[in-house]
Structure 1
Amino acid sequence: MAAPTWIDGPDDRIAVEPLMRIAVFDVSHWHFPLYLPALRDSGVQVVGISDTASFAGSTVADQLKCKLYGSNEDLLNEDFDFALVLSRHSEMAELAERLITRGIPFLIEKPCGLNLQEVRQLRQLSEKHSVYVSVPFIMRVSDLATRLSAGNGFTPEGFQHLAFRFIVGPVARYERGGCSWMLDKRHAGGGSTLNVGVHFIDLISSLTNSPITQVSAQMQTYRPDVTVEEQAVFTCRNAAGQIGVVETGYLYPSTAEDQRDFAFSISHTASYARGYADQLYIKARNQQPGGATTVEYNTDAFYSVFLRRSWADLATGCLPVAGLREAEHAIAVVEAGYRSAANGGAPEPVDNVFAPV
């Protein structure tokens, strides 16, 4: 970022904080609108956007009063301090590599690449060049993660079983949103597991503070022209022996006011927790009645929270709350699940796992 500008005040010189200049690559991504609140913060200036899908670019440029560049290559030539990479999964790794070699920090949407090899190479390159890269595993900054934290009695070693169901809208929503490539494995890499399941794979690892080491999975695709999974169930075991289940799908008849089916149940040595709609019910092991509280489960609410956290961590020299190391672990788990599903659900080891930061 640029150095502060000094101006003459009534009594002394005053430092005026510089603008953070932001470039956004591929704004037709369905998550882009969720970052708008942060991108409109004071001290933030979007200097340029790109839209290789040619879907939402003109509208976004008008909204943000910024320049729409004709290609990602043109936008790369702009002068900026931080980037958002929201590109097709098949194009993410190359773009991210170029940002890293230029030393530019950025946020990149999961899965960060088409496969584990691409993500691993990005992680290694970012560590070599000491470039800040955050990956929005937004469950880490959610109300649910706070409620299930050690500070609230959910110690990592006490988890016995964690089960999450997250069913989002049908594949047609990607077609309506200008992201038909999400239905093609050549460009997306995978379906509901790679798109939404990684959030809960990462959440299980972070809550238990233990990497997932083994996966058994079953998957299903319903539309004959879709080459990614529309439904998946993962049963995972971590290095501590704890078991987690992640069920995802593109099956919910979503509407603007009711977008997904999200539910969970968690067994812990201290208590049992379950959630649905906007309720979190916790019942302790001491035979006393349980109690319910209202919790924000709308994950859309946390993307701008995560982006602001990324900027704060970058400014203070902290590691990202989630980055390429966490993404590499999540994608390794996903690929083990794909191997398992192709092998009739037989358990598969996770490739070269390590504990996420």
Structure 2
Amino acid sequence: MKLAFIGASHWHLPLYLDPALQIEGVQVVGVSDPDAACVKALAARLGCAGDTDFRALCRKTRPDFVVALGRHCDMVEEARFLLEEGIPFALEKPCGLNARDAIELAALEERTGNFAAVPLVFRNGDFTLLLRKIAAQGTQYMSFRFIAGFPARYQQANCHWMLDPALSGGGSTINLGIHFFDLALLLMGADARVRHATMSNAAFGHPVEDYGLVVLEQGADLCVIETGYLYPAPTSTFDMHYAVRTPHDYLVAHDPETVELVHSSGERQMIASHTTNVAHYRTFMRDVLDRVRAGRPPLARLSDMVPIMRLVGDAYAKAGPLRKSTVSA
């Protein structure tokens, strides 16, 4: 199976590339990115074709599957080309800048019938299965706190565009929060809406928020999604705490590998579970390629991003413009 990676300077590249290189029968045939130096280095390392034009690369190498990364503002153009060319692909989140982009791609996905996956990778993991099981009779309250490292990591990865809202769509809410908006919709239902949102760039003063808090509601049920770029820790290390209350259980997670489930009777149960997104990219890559080979649809599609991006857009609208920070970035 021939794979190509486009928008390959994205800092998530190793999360997809490293697992792909370990899958038997998979060959990376090409890489593309507007950054010529990045393309040259990757192509030499992988022994494959490289091109700064992703269209030319795909037409030259004819891949069986493409992992599309890159700047958020470029994702619609990448997906539009792949859909129209009939090339199966996975498009990194958030698949554009706003709900309008998501709606356009979902409509094109429907018209072409092409395989277009979205790595909402929590869906590939045991944590979501556990949540769905305990929430079968409904949820009452949910809280997801997910604070990542400083925004300087994007500058160090040569992804400065992440700190420009015109190119990224925003900060931690659109970047880190996507997974939790998805979980909220899965557990609360499609009628969930934004009740409140507040955001700040007080920590680092960049044009995007380094902290965001969003409250979703569905009837009397509430969900809090708290994200940020505040934790003094390396990449893939998080200040995290999740809590979910159902009529019968209370679930708590505060580390990447363990969940505590407290039943209404008071009985406590410790469950091994991968509670961050990082571990699930490996499972995602194997699953998505298996689905392409078998002719099965993806676990999450472009159309699944429409309700997520509507909530994201509503959150930014509710929060309003960031106040000018007194901090020098």
TM over 0.5: yes
Matches within 5 A, 1:111-150: 111-150=94-133
CA change 1:304–1:160 in 2 (3 A) is: same
Matched, 1:247 2:229: no
CA change 1:49–1:279 in 2 (3 A) is: same
Matched, 1:221 2:163: no
Matched, 1:38 2:19: yes
Task: Give the match for residue 171 of structure 1.
Answer: 151
Matched, 1:202 2:182: yes
Of the structure 1 ranges 293-302 and 277-286, higher mean CA displacement relative to structure 2 is found in 293-302
Task: Give the match for residue 326 of structure 2.
Answer: none
Structure with max Cα Rg: 1
Matched, 1:21 2:2: yes
Matched, 1:340 2:322: no
Give unmatched runs, 5+ long, in structure 2: 323-329
Matched, 1:90 2:70: no
Question: Is contact 1:216-1:234 (8 Å) kept?
Answer: yes
Task: Give the match for residue 85 of structure 2.
Answer: 102
Displacement of 1:45: 1.3
CA distance in 2, matches of 1:127, 1:73: 22
CA change 1:184–1:223 in 2 (3 A) is: farther
Task: Give the match for residue 142 of structure 2.
Answer: 162
Question: Is contact 1:21-1:80 (8 Å) kept?
Answer: yes
Matched, 1:189 2:169: yes
Displacement of 1:55: 5.7
Give unmatched runs, 5+ long, in structure 1: 1-19, 345-357
Name the amino acid aligned to 2:260: Y
Of the structure 1 ranges 210-219 and 166-175, higher mean CA displacement relative to structure 2 is found in 210-219
Of the structure 1 ranges 39-48 and 305-314, higher mean CA displacement relative to structure 2 is found in 305-314
Of the structure 1 ranges 59-68 and 27-36, higher mean CA displacement relative to structure 2 is found in 59-68
CA distance in 2, matches of 1:225, 1:270: 43
Displacement of 1:63: 3.5
CA distance in 1, matches of 2:163, 2:169: 9
What percentage of aligned pairs have identical amino acids?
Answer: 32
Question: Is contact 1:49-1:75 (8 Å) kept?
Answer: yes
Matched, 1:231 2:214: no
The size of the alignment, in residue pairs, is 319
SS at match of 1:331: helix
Displacement of 1:320: 1.6
Q: Which aligned segments of 4 or more residues in structure 1 are displaced greater than 6 angstroms?
A: none
Of the structure 1 ranges 51-60 and 34-43, higher mean CA displacement relative to structure 2 is found in 51-60
SS at match of 1:222: coil
SS at match of 1:300: coil
Name the amino acid aligned to 2:230: L
CA change 1:209–1:64 in 2 (3 A) is: farther
Displacement of 1:274: 0.4
TM-score (norm 1): 0.84
Displacement of 1:38: 3.1
TM-score (norm 2): 0.91
Name the amino acid aligned to 1:80: P
CA distance in 2, matches of 1:343, 1:49: 37
Task: Give the match for residue 44 of structure 2.
Answer: 62
Displacement of 1:147: 2.1
Displacement of 1:211: 4.2
Question: Is contact 1:22-1:47 (8 Å) kept?
Answer: yes
Question: Is contact 2:194-2:214 (8 Å) kept?
Answer: no
CA distance in 2, matches of 1:224, 1:262: 20
Question: Is contact 1:205-1:212 (8 Å) kept?
Answer: yes
Matched, 1:259 2:237: yes
Displacement of 1:210: 3.6
Displacement of 1:115: 1.6
